[in-house]
Chains A and B, each alone.
Chain A
């Protein structure tokens, strides 16, 4: 099943800015936008944004999502140690008639 493409890992220094990417196509990211989820080891995922930049209440403004064409991005500013986690993107895909996920990006905060 077609999925979304994310870089496997990103490393950034404390207090710096990280931008994570998620590439799909016109049937998914390009059409419906993407959601972003954060997952710490041993815990369920937590949604950071839904359908591009709809941020749920309680999510820090340091997390912002955007989209350009078929690529969605999650920007995390002022990196903190607790931001070290796995990040997943997800989108509805009109061609497979199901949601699809990216393979996830492991963010390391140095």
Chain B
């Protein structure tokens, strides 16, 4: 059974940093593009970043380019998102999801507030 489990969220001050992890099971991360998608309170889905199966290609939304980095450890079957220079508007539930959107984690809340 495919499972994606996010961790690492929490409360951070504006300008701060945070690291999110997404542990995958039931399939090999190396076979899929993986993505992070977020959803602000009461808002719609917002693409954040993606990374290819071998890690050589990445994609970022303009709103996070230069502030967020995405990486993966295929040996540990884990996807990462590092969030820097956080702003109040980055407050959201962050989901990790697979290439064809067929599996999603339950999401992890990131709150940026002083």
Residues of A within 8 A of B (CB): 1, 35, 37, 39, 44-47, 50, 56, 86, 88, 90, 96-104
Q: Is the interface of A mostly helix, strand, loop or mixed?
A: strand
Are the C-beta atoms of A101 and B45 separated by less than 8 Å? yes
The CA of A45 and the CA of B100, in the complex, are separated in Å by 12
Do A44 and B104 form a contact, CB below 8 Å, given A101-B46, A101-B47? yes
Please tell me the number of chain B residues within 8 Å of chain A, measured between CB atoms. 21
New A-B pairs, 4, CB < 8 Å, besides A1-B61, A44-B106, A86-B44: A39-B45, A98-B50, A98-B60, A99-B35
Do A99 and B107 form a contact, CB below 8 Å, given A37-B101, A88-B45, A90-B45? no
Are the C-beta atoms of A45 and B101 separated by less than 8 Å? yes
